[in-house]
Structure 1
Amino acid sequence: MTLEAIKELIITQLEQQTESILKQWSTHQGTSTNYFYIDNLLPVALVDEIYMAFPKEGDGFHKRKSFREQKSTFAALANSSAILSDITKAFQLPEVVEKISSLVGMKALEGDPTLYAGGLSMMFKNDFLNPHIDNSHDGNRKRYRRLNLLYYVTPEWMLENGGNFELWDAKVTVPETIIAQFNRLVVMETNNKSWHSVSPVIADNARCCVSNYYFSEISPNGLEYFHVTSFTGRPGEKWKRTVGVVDNFLRNNVAKALKTGRGKGLINKE
């Protein structure tokens, strides 16, 4: 299937599920973060092909492992299969960006072909992503991060498998869980209060995801700000919450002073 055909399928599903999207975006509970998800985004046979193209052991992926997170990521589309490249690029096409922008009422959104902090993601047994707010900007610090798009492709993924997406309340005490269900697209707003995470993976097989971000020169709250990806612990993880405050402060100040940022060498260079 061509990239153009994948684009048309995505736009068609967005149009058909507009009513549900608008309702979810405006009436969510348990979190102040706006979001929506839609199921059955693409034909099953195509999604199976996408899933099978992921390397089952995560070969070639960059492994992150710390008290903050444990996962594997990949953004070099030139070194991936055609189908993985196409499904990732499809969400970056102007028509798709414009369609999603109009649905959520955000103006002047732009894609990010470099896939800074985006691309392909694999999480294996015991992998996790602690509650965090995303880096505020793109790799060049010119645009604010506004939307996070997560497309899940692992067949028969259930709540009991772990590795599910979580959106938190302001105090990061209670999560709203969205299952990383096969053929499900989740779109969430990203700002300096949008705490989210991924629960630890319990299943033996990998949770595979295609991740994209949209940016704009317009700040989400109309004010200028900057922060690195900032982590805290889960409820009950008091030491991670304490260490997180110090860790976030130090990394934020180093990033501001040196204009550095993790992951800048892992972007897509096509």
Structure 2
Amino acid sequence: MDGTPRTSIINTPVLEAADRLGADFVAAQPFPHAVIDEFFAPAFARRLLAEFPGFEQGNFIGDDGQPGGKSTSDKVRQLGPAYRELDDAIRSQEFLQLLSRLTGIESLIYDPWYLGGGTHENRDGMSLDPHVDFNFHPSERWHRRLNLIIYLNPVWDAQWGGNFELFRDPHGSPRPDVSIAPAFNRCAIFETSERSWHGFDRIRLPPEHAGLTRRSIALYFYTKDRPTDEIAERHTTYYVNRQLPERFVEGAVLDAADVAEMRELVSQRDAHIRMLYAENTALRKAQDAGIGGQLVYLAKRAYVRFRR
């Protein structure tokens, strides 16, 4: 190590404004968050973009076993020198203490496995429904506390979609409270909790930019404890399908695009229902296996026969 601070990858103005940014983070609505432009030192951000993995280099196979429109890579240190430098930095106490200044969350823990994180790339047509993230680390007894997302899109227009969205209540309204374009070297950082609903709207690229993808790096941080009133039972990521757009009202005349969007929303709900039924079936199969499953089966059988 040459003695260079690990936080040297951060743009100097961000370091100088850390305390002010931290105050803004805590006060932000609909839940604590901050949007920080030019987050990384400019030269470092360009290096990350240059070493960003190709789409086929990542995991682009969906849960159905078919190629999809999203590709991820959690083998961060294998992506190149800039990503090794990033990994060295975010695990350091200097960087974690900076995050505490930016968010007010103390004793943050870096995830060496990048579970769910790493590089994310999304093609035209992709979107992410509003959701709250899994609340405990999958293998450790750590509380998930903070998401930090860096966007690496030198050319992007908010009208193309792919905007990062924050919701107060996605059950009640289709409109996000905050919408953030995924501009180059822009950082979106937010506290993860049972109310941190977030996603991004559908990417709709114009023909002249059809080959672009939405690129980002997702970093997740944890703590060993969290305030008692914020603790919930362990759960996986919880999605809410998007509501009908507000323009779908009585008397409105639907055009072809409206009909296509309605069919797409219904199709997404159908897919969600099928996924839930499949998960339920898998859980029942697991329950039926082994001694415990047999005991449950015999108990249910005895109960049904007793009722008769």
TM-score interval, normalised by the smaller of the two chains:
0.7 to 0.9
Deviation, 1:190, is: 0.5
Residues 151 and 183, structure 2, Cα contact 8 Å, conserved in 1: yes
Post-superposition offset of 1:46: 3.0
1:127 is aligned with what amino acid? M
**2:96 counterpart SS class:** helix
Aligned residue for 2:25? 25
Q: Compared with structure 1, are the counterparts of its residues 35 and 102 closer, same or farther at alpha carbon in structure 2 (3 Å cutoff)?
A: same
Partner of 2:10: 10
CA, structure 1 residues 110+232, in 2 after alignment: closer, same or farther (shift >3 Å)?
Answer: same
Matches within 5 A, 1:156-171: 156-171=155-170
1:233 alignment partner, one of 231, 241, 260:
241
1:38 aligns with 2:40: no
Match of 1:60, as an amino acid?
A: Q
**Within 5 Å, which residues of 2 pair with 1:141-180?**
141-172=140-171, 173=173, 174-175=175-176, 176-180=178-182
Separation (CA, whole Å) in 2 of partners of 1:28 and 1:136 = 21
The one-character-per-residue Cα deviations of 1:83-105 (angstroms, maximum 9, x if unpaired) are 13323443332211111113322
Give distance in 2, aligned partners of 1:65 and 1:3.
43
In 1: Cα distance, 2:94 partner to 2:276 partner: 36
Aligned to 2:76: 77
What's the secondary structure of 2:101's corresponding residue? Answer: helix
Distance 1:156 1:195 in 2: 27
Question: Do the aligned partners of residues 66 and 129 (structure 1) sit closer, same or farther apart at CA in structure 2, a change above 3 Å counting?
Answer: farther
1: distance between equivalents of 2:280 and 2:95? 33
Segment of structure 1 superposing worse, 91-100 or 10-19: 10-19
| Residue 74 of structure 1: how far off its partner (Å) | 0.3
Residue 193 to residue 251, structure 1, CA distance change in 2 (3 Å): farther
> Tell me, which stretches of 5 or more residues in structure 2 are unaligned?
245-264, 287-308
Q: CA deviation at 1:137?
A: 1.3
On the 8 A contact 2:170/2:197 being kept in 1, the answer is no
The structure with the largest helix share of the pair is 2
SS of 1:150 mapped into structure 2: strand
Q: Deviations over 1:3-28 (max 9, x none)?
A: 95662242744332235513532443
Bigger Cα displacement from structure 2, 161-170 vs 37-46: 37-46
- 1:263 corresponds to: none
- Distance in 1 (CA, whole Å) between partners of 2:274 and 2:48 is 40
- Rg: which structure is higher? 2
Please give the per-residue CA displacement for 1:10-63, whole angstroms capped at 9, x wherever unaligned: 27443322355135324434x2x210021112343332222122234x122112
Contact 2:170–2:242 (Cα < 8 Å) also in 1 = no
Structure of higher RCO (CA pairs closer than 8 Å, 6+ residues apart): 1
TM-score, structure 1 normalization? 0.80
1:25–1:36 Cα contact (<8 Å) kept? yes
Alpha-carbon displacement from aligned partner over 1:231-261 (angstroms, at most 9, x marks no partner): 1111224664586578569859978x97xxx
Q: Distance in 2 between matches of 1:138 and 1:128?
A: 24
Equivalent residue for 1:223, pick from 223, 227, 231: 231
Judged with a 3 Å threshold, the aligned counterparts in structure 2 of structure 1 residues 11 and 155 are, in CA distance, closer, same or farther, namely: closer
Question: What runs of 5+ residues in structure 1 fail to find an aligned partner?
Answer: 259-270
8 A Cα contact 1:227 1:252, kept in partner: no
Question: Identity percentage over the alignment?
Answer: 23
RMSD: 3.1
CA distance in 1, matches of 2:140, 2:82: 30
Instruction: Give runs of aligned pairs for residues 1-270 of structure 1, distance below 5 A.
Output: 4=4, 7-10=7-10, 12-18=12-18, 20-29=20-29, 31=30, 33-56=31-54, 58-63=55-60, 65=62, 70-172=69-171, 173=173, 174-175=175-176, 176-203=178-205, 204=210, 205-219=212-226, 221-236=229-244, 237=265, 240=268, 244=272, 247=275, 251=279
| Superposed displacement of residue 75, structure 1 | 0.7
SS in 2 for 1:59: helix
